Structure 1
Amino acid sequence: MNKLKIGTSDLELGEISLGCMRMADLSEKEAEVVIETALEVGIDLFDHADIYGGGKSEEVFAKAFSKNPTKRESLFIQTKCGIRKGQFDFSKEHILESVDGSLQRLQTDYIDILLLHRPDTLVEPEEVAEAFSILEESGKVRYFGVSNQNPLQIELLKKYVKQELIVNQLQLSLMHTPMIDAGFNVNMLNDPAIVRDNGILEYSRLKDMTIQAWSPFQYGMIEGTFMRNADYPEVNAKLQEIAEKKGVTDSAIAIAWLLRHPAGIQPVIGTMNPQRIKDVAAASDVNLSREEWYELYLSTGKKLP
């Protein structure tokens, strides 16, 4: 698998990562196979959150990985914090408690990348800065980032946080492209012209901040997958057409569409199916032309101005 430089850091990771939200539903043996398959195809970043499965996803991952001969230093663990029942919480106390809980469940001494999960409007960035410094100086966290944040929210944090914010995890798929649509429809009086995220795509490129695309096979707000969905015949026909031409699966083409963008996007796939992990990983070797990228975009029903 091709490598991707992550943000402004010295990390070079597989350009596709594995989201472990659904790992809580696996047996230890099933999780072993998933982890082994991911590593075999070059996926070396495993994405977690303290809330996934109520913490069980991290626990299952740790137990399964303990059976694998791969050294801890050979893979990268990312986890997120900041979501609590009925609220978001970026307080110093919660961040520190959350990381300690994740470290315990993951049975590791350090987290490679910690992300703040969803924006907390009550955030006091000075507290975030204190928490990050404590975590970095203690060796508990090596790199930091955010998730689902717009440019000004990031800039507010950066005013106080001394560590580089290397990642922003955002929803992005062939069927969910508001950050791309707005760029095409500048100064138009139509819905795609609405800038919903303060130009996060261009901001990320300017700041060398890696976008991790979550739910890369979903439409709407995690309403379901568009892949092989009878409600989306045109996009699936185009995916299948290009997949047959490239000798890969339609899911690989959906991921290759994200990888083709020069922003250096890292898709986070959430499948726990070993064969599908192999199928999707083939996207790293697919080269889509500019014409194919636009054909796929237009097959979703979108129009260029």
Structure 2
Amino acid sequence: MKQIKLGKTNISVPAIVLGCMRLGALDLKTAEKFINTALELGINHIDHADIYGGGSCEELFGKAAKLNISTNREKFFIQSKCGIVPGVMYDFSKEHIINSVDGILKRLGTDYLDALLLHRPDALMEPEVVADAFDTLEKSGKVRNFGVSNMNPMQIQLLQKYVKQPICANQLQLSITNSNMISQGLEVNMSSDGAVNRDGAVLDFCRLNDITIQTWSPFQYGFFGGVFIGNDKFPELNKVIDELAQKYNVTPTTIVTAWILRHPANMQMIAGTTNLERLKQIAQASDIEISREEWYKLYLSAGHILP
């Protein structure tokens, strides 16, 4: 499994992250097998959030991975996210962040998180309060690294003005079809849709500041509109995906993953599947590198343009 350095840390993590949003659909025995297979594939970076399954996904993972055994805990790099009160508000208050971490640790059955990410930007964020919460969590040993999710550069800079810990990661939506963070850099100074700067050039910002981008919904189009692989809405894209899959003797899932891993930003791709075969196909992308021309061919076949 390809390894990258996480942010400004000296921690090596796999290019594929195991996303646990759907883990709660599995029974304990199946979850154990799934987690062990992920480890065998070299995928030991685990992504949770306190809202996934209302916390049940963390609880199931803790039992299935047997985190109560110290030697098992050391096998994983576990991150979780907090800050969302579903259907009500976003909350970056110190009380909410610390209580969320306590709940996460209890459900997982562990003493610490390798990383905590703030899930979505809070319009009422007081960065000095977040900084206080991070300091408290770090000093207590409950959290070792900190990051964000779905934040633009100015939001990160505002946070970093007060937070002394470096932001190690930023989770962002990216797929071949949802590539505005890429298209805005190619269609500079144009009147095209792709030229619209919707996120403050977050891709370049993260690269300049050594913040690892973790991509979510890598197989989705729109905002959870559905999977584009094999979808009749994307005939040209699937034609190119299938051609490359045949060339490299892999599946379309592997090719789509390889497209993300080919980018020089050294992104991590979050694999949210609970299907063992699909997880294996995703992991296989670590062993191939598509060419520059093939990367652009996939990009253009999704409807993007080159000026």
State the AA in 2 paired with 1:13.
Answer: V
Question: Is 1:183 the equivalent of 2:185?
Answer: yes
Separation (CA, whole Å) in 1 of partners of 2:187 and 2:144: 39
Aligned to 1:19: 19
Aligned to 1:38: 38
Match of 1:128 among 122, 127, 130: 130
Q: Deviation at 1:10?
A: 1.2
TM-score under structure 1 normalisation?
Answer: 0.98
Alpha carbons 2:219, 2:228 under 8 Å: kept:
yes
Higher mean Cα deviation, 44-53 or 62-71?
62-71
1:228-277 per-position Cα deviation (integer Å, ceiling 9, x unaligned): 11211111111111011111111011010001000111000100011111
Separation (CA, whole Å) in 2 of partners of 1:114 and 1:250: 32
Q: Deviation at 1:88?
A: 0.3
List aligned pairs for 1:1-305, cutoff 5 A: 1-66=1-66, 71-85=72-86, 86-305=88-307
Separation (CA, whole Å) in 1 of partners of 2:293 and 2:305: 15
State the AA in 1 paired with 2:163.
Answer: V
Separation (CA, whole Å) in 2 of partners of 1:303 and 1:185: 8
Where 2:144 maps in the other structure, the secondary structure is: strand
Q: Deviation at 1:216?
A: 0.5
Alpha carbons 2:67, 2:108 under 8 Å: kept:
no
Alpha carbons 2:7, 2:169 under 8 Å: kept:
yes
State the AA in 2 paired with 1:27.
Answer: D
Separation (CA, whole Å) in 2 of partners of 1:15 and 1:149: 21
Separation (CA, whole Å) in 2 of partners of 1:298 and 1:105: 44
Where 1:237 maps in the other structure, the secondary structure is: helix
Separation (CA, whole Å) in 1 of partners of 2:101 and 2:203: 29
Alpha carbons 1:32, 1:67 under 8 Å: kept:
no
Alpha carbons 1:36, 1:68 under 8 Å: kept:
no
Where 2:133 maps in the other structure, the secondary structure is: helix
Alpha carbons 1:113, 1:143 under 8 Å: kept:
yes
1:175-204 per-position Cα deviation (integer Å, ceiling 9, x unaligned): 110100100110001111110000000001
Q: Deviation at 1:71?
A: 2.1
Alpha carbons 1:82, 1:88 under 8 Å: kept:
yes
State the AA in 1 paired with 2:129.
Answer: E
Separation (CA, whole Å) in 1 of partners of 2:249 and 2:76: 29
Higher mean Cα deviation, 25-34 or 112-121?
25-34
Separation (CA, whole Å) in 2 of partners of 1:138 and 1:228: 48
Structure 1 unpaired stretches of 5+: none
Separation (CA, whole Å) in 2 of partners of 1:303 and 1:130: 45
CA 298–219 in structure 1, closer or farther in 2 if over 3 Å, else same: same
Structure 2 unpaired stretches of 5+: none
Aligned length in residues: 305
1:252-303 per-position Cα deviation (integer Å, ceiling 9, x unaligned): 1101000100011100010001111111100001111100000000111111
State the AA in 2 paired with 1:19.
Answer: G
State the AA in 1 paired with 2:76.
Answer: L
Where 1:71 maps in the other structure, the secondary structure is: helix
Matched-pair identity in %? 57
Where 1:175 maps in the other structure, the secondary structure is: coil
Alpha carbons 2:178, 2:221 under 8 Å: kept:
yes
Q: Deviation at 1:67?
A: 8.4
Separation (CA, whole Å) in 2 of partners of 1:278 and 1:182: 33
1:43-72 per-position Cα deviation (integer Å, ceiling 9, x unaligned): 110100000000000011111111898621
TM-score under structure 2 normalisation?
Answer: 0.97
Separation (CA, whole Å) in 1 of partners of 2:229 and 2:40: 25
Separation (CA, whole Å) in 1 of partners of 2:148 and 2:155: 10
Separation (CA, whole Å) in 2 of partners of 1:210 and 1:168: 6
